[in-house]
């Protein structure tokens, strides 16, 4: 999670190796989607 929310930040952070990107203010739906995606990735890689 980051406080940065400028245009292009998401692509830059993902290219730098972040797993996902959520900016402030946090939207609950986006947070739950990100957590679910991380769980799916975790189980696929185990």
Domain positions in the chain = 9-44
Q: What pLDDT score was predicted for residue 9?
A: 87
Which tokens hold the place of 2? 């980051």
φ and ψ at 2, to 5 degrees?
-140, 155
Q: What pLDDT score was predicted for residue 1?
A: 58
Q: What pLDDT score was predicted for residue 32?
A: 94
Residue 2: strand, helix, or coil: strand
Residue 33: strand, helix, or coil: helix
pLDDT tens profile 8-46: 888 998 999 988 888 888 899 999 999 999 899 888 887
How far CA 44 is from CA of 20, 37, 38, in Å, comes to 16, 11, 10
Q: What pLDDT score was predicted for residue 46?
A: 76
């Amino acid at each position: 999670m980051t406080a940065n929310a400028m245009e292009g930040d998401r692509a830059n952070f993902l290219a730098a190796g972040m797993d996902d990107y959520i900016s402030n203010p946090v939207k609950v739906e986006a947070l739950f989607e990100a957590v679910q995606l991380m769980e799916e990735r975790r189980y696929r890689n185990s």
